Structure 1
Amino acid sequence: MSRILLKAFLGLLMRVLYRPKVEGAEHIAESGPVILAGSHVTFVDSLFLALVVKRQVFFIGKDEYVTGKGIKGRLMAWFFGSSGMIPVDRDGGRGGVAALMTGKRVLDEGQVFGIYPEGTRSPDGRLYRGRTGIARLTLMTGAPVVPFAMLGMDKVQPGGKGKLRISPVTIRFGKPLDFSRYEGMDRDRYVLRAVTDEVMTEVMGLSGQEYVDMYATKAKAA
């Protein structure tokens, strides 16, 4: 019930303030597992995505978002939990495995799982090399991948975080990608890279972003 109320309230607010234009929503199946894979530019990308998709979208978030103390901490835990975030400790050597297994569980239950293959927000608005977790998920579960792009978010939240500004946005979904031809090959690193690159090529076509063949984390470190 809290998710429905939150989505109704924030959805109305978003439509009034940001006038989102949604393209290709028909590519998201009404039932069954679906992976939504797109570019990541701002802190609020997942919130906007969840508000424009009819089905509930689950996604991974840092566990620190829901472990805060006091009234603020409880409000943040309620907000992120209601919006579909699943907290995972992504620090340490097993963080990636935990995130992958969480996504697999969501998809095995026939739900919608949102993922950003870059692994982190873009430091400069360009599209960076995708990590192969997206490929492992689709090959392990058989779920189709629906690529998406969120245009105008760089104007809504310049720099990727901080205060929101009022500016129109467009959320564009592409046709589902089926990788069943690679069934049983989720441990072949060449296949994983090929699948990931195909997804990123589709995202780039939808977003119009410049592509950088480097991981975003390395770009941030530099």
Structure 2
Amino acid sequence: MAEGHRLLYWLLKYVILGPWVRLVFRPIVEGRDNVPANGAAIIASNHLSFSDSIFMPLEVRRKVTFVAKAEYFTGKGIKGWLVKMFFISTGTIPVDRSGGRAAQAALDTQLRVLLAGNLAGIYPEGTRSPDGRLYRGKTGVARLALLSGAPVVPVVMLNADEIQPPGKVIPKIKRVRIRFGEPIDFARYAGMSGDRFVERAVTDEIMYELMELSGREYVDIYAQKAKSAAARVPGPAKASDPPTAVAA
């Protein structure tokens, strides 16, 4: 992160944005001490709302680095500037989606974050849940864990979909609830990255922990597939989802 961006991140998180979020939404955070005080770790979260990317990173004492499409950093006008400032404030790194390599570019970027001893954030479902249930995880999170050797800290947003449902721009004023689980160590699978059966087993273990922590129903299909199926059903037009971070 450039020095100017680092300063801006600090100001937005600790002086401008963070204090207002805590004042208005009064977060209830459980298990925050499960996030390691130092060293690499993967913060793996369920994904209910655009506001997940605001509430959770602001409530972690260290910087959690997500990745997002580079287009979110190049928008024009006031809206484009606000979107860019938001992503900078949460420590998000832009990745180039050109050439159809968005997922690999995201993983490569996150791996560099982890190998530098920092926190990498990821949404294993790859997109927001369309209905609040927990959907099948993509194996990028497992690949990151196996390549980096970093533990995975599961975290669940318990009511972000009530505060800001998908498609809604203005959030409701309500106490946000976040729960961090204990770190999961996958050292027993060291050197087995690339084995699709191992990567699926690791991913499923992470998703099971997210299910247990959240109390949400688990659906063994990908969220994007559920969204695509719903889009084919005739009905009234729905508002487009706001931007989301890239997840492999």
Structure 2 length normalisation: TM-score? 0.86
2:54 is the alignment partner of 1:47: yes
Which residue is 1:123 aligned to? 130
**Runs of 4+ deviating beyond 6 Å:** none
Contact 1:21 1:169 in 2 (8 A): yes
Which residue is 1:95 aligned to? 102
How far 1:161 sits from its partner (Å)? 4.0
Contact 1:142 1:179 in 2 (8 A): yes
Which of 214, 217, 230 in structure 2 is aligned with 1:210?
A: 217
Post-superposition Cα deviations, 1:44-89, rounded to whole Å, max 9, x if no partner, equal: 2111111100001100112221111244433432331232111123
Which residue is 1:2 aligned to? 8
2:117 is the alignment partner of 1:110: yes
Equivalent residues in 2 for 1:8-47 (5 A)?
Answer: 8=14, 9-47=16-54
Which residue is 2:240 aligned to? none
Contact 1:34 1:145 in 2 (8 A): yes
How far 1:160 sits from its partner (Å)? 5.3
**In structure 2, distance between residues paired with 1:3 and 1:93:** 29
**In structure 2, distance between residues paired with 1:102 and 1:46:** 18
Higher mean C-alpha displacement, 65-74 vs 46-55:
65-74
- SS of the aligned residue for 1:158 comes to coil
**In structure 1, distance between residues paired with 2:225 and 2:99:** 17
Report how many residues are paired: 222
2:180 is the alignment partner of 1:173: yes
Give aligned-pair identity as a percent. 58
Post-superposition Cα deviations, 1:120-147, rounded to whole Å, max 9, x if no partner, equal: 1111111000000000000000000000
- SS of the aligned residue for 2:154 comes to strand
Question: Which stretches in structure 1 are left out of the alignment for 5+ residues?
Answer: none
How far 1:93 sits from its partner (Å)? 2.9
**In structure 2, distance between residues paired with 1:118 and 1:140:** 20
**In structure 2, distance between residues paired with 1:76 and 1:41:** 19
Post-superposition Cα deviations, 1:178-207, rounded to whole Å, max 9, x if no partner, equal: 000000100111000000000000001111
**In structure 2, distance between residues paired with 1:15 and 1:82:** 15
> Cα–Cα, structure 1 residues 209 and 160, in superposed 2: closer, same or farther, change >3 Å?
farther
Which residue is 1:83 aligned to? 90
Post-superposition Cα deviations, 1:90-149, rounded to whole Å, max 9, x if no partner, equal: 465311110110110110111111100000111111100000000000000000000000
- SS of the aligned residue for 1:149 comes to strand
**In structure 1, distance between residues paired with 2:192 and 2:168:** 38
Which residue is 1:63 aligned to? 70
Contact 1:59 1:114 in 2 (8 A): yes
**In structure 2, distance between residues paired with 1:92 and 1:220:** 24
Contact 2:50 2:166 in 1 (8 A): no
- SS of the aligned residue for 1:159 comes to coil
Contact 1:43 1:161 in 2 (8 A): no
**In structure 2, distance between residues paired with 1:161 and 1:91:** 29
Contact 1:41 1:160 in 2 (8 A): no
> Cα–Cα, structure 1 residues 29 and 85, in superposed 2: closer, same or farther, change >3 Å?
same
